[in-house]
Amino acid sequence: MQKYLLIIGLITGFAFAALAQEPAIPIKKTKADSIQAKKDSLKSKPFIPKITSDKVYHPDTNHSPHKAVIHSLMIPGWGQLYNHQWWKVPVIYAGLGLIAWAYVFNEKYYQETLAIAKYRQKGTEPVPGDKYYNVYPQYTNASVTAINDAVRGYARYRDISVLGFVAGWGIQAIDAYIDAKFIHSYSMDKDFTFKVTPITMDPPMYAQNFNGSFIPGIKLTFTLK
């Protein structure tokens, strides 16, 4: 009996508690409250800084490394122009031009010293009208050994010039291929800067007699961004 009374009491208590929960009365907002809320929202709006991003260079899959190397093998510097690196063209032609000048210089004196060596070997001298008649007196005091050494030296440097010219031609073709490969397959940033600043250096061991405790110098800094 007591158990039933306890259950009835609990049910009655829950019923009165449920009836006691009245809905909250909504508060009417005035026009002034709306304006103030709008001002508060404007003041509390977070500041978002403007995001700036560096220019990105995407790969150009239409750029052909094969075409770049073929162009450079045909005409030096053509592949660099194809890669839009025109500043390399003067460097290429300056290098190949110097090598070509070295070949002409050594070939000229090789032929000259060779002719003089043949005159010495025969024991004769060039007569007026011969090609080396005017330069022969310059070798009067030179020994046969010195002339033969000069012939071999000019021949060696002439051959080195030929090899250097071929190597330079090949190097510029490889350079064009590598640059074209990067343009074709990789993102490349062309922001290349350098800075020149004066510095002082400690004198090395071989310059201990240098007047002064420091040696002035120049620092060159390259930056790739």
Q: Which residue has the tokens 């009417």?
A: 28
Closest alpha carbon to 149 in 122, 101, 109: 109
pLDDT at 3: 47
Give this prediction's pTM. Answer: 0.56
Contact 224, 191 (CB under 8 A): yes
Residues pairing with 220 in the sheet = 196
Angstrom distance (rounded) from CA 142 to CA 127: 19
- Residues lower than pLDDT 70 in the chain: 1-60, 187-194, 201-215, 222-225
Angstrom distance (rounded) from CA 79 to CA 89: 9
Closest alpha carbon to 132 in 153, 117, 152, 121: 117
pLDDT at 218: 74
pLDDT at 24: 46
Centre a 10 Å sphere on the Cβ of residue 179 and count the other Cβ atoms it contains.
21
Q: Directed axis angle between helix 144-185 and helix 65-74, to 10°?
A: 150
pLDDT at 183: 86
pLDDT at 166: 96
* Tokens at 13, concatenated: 């208590």
Contacts of 107 (CB under 8 A, 6+ apart): 154, 158
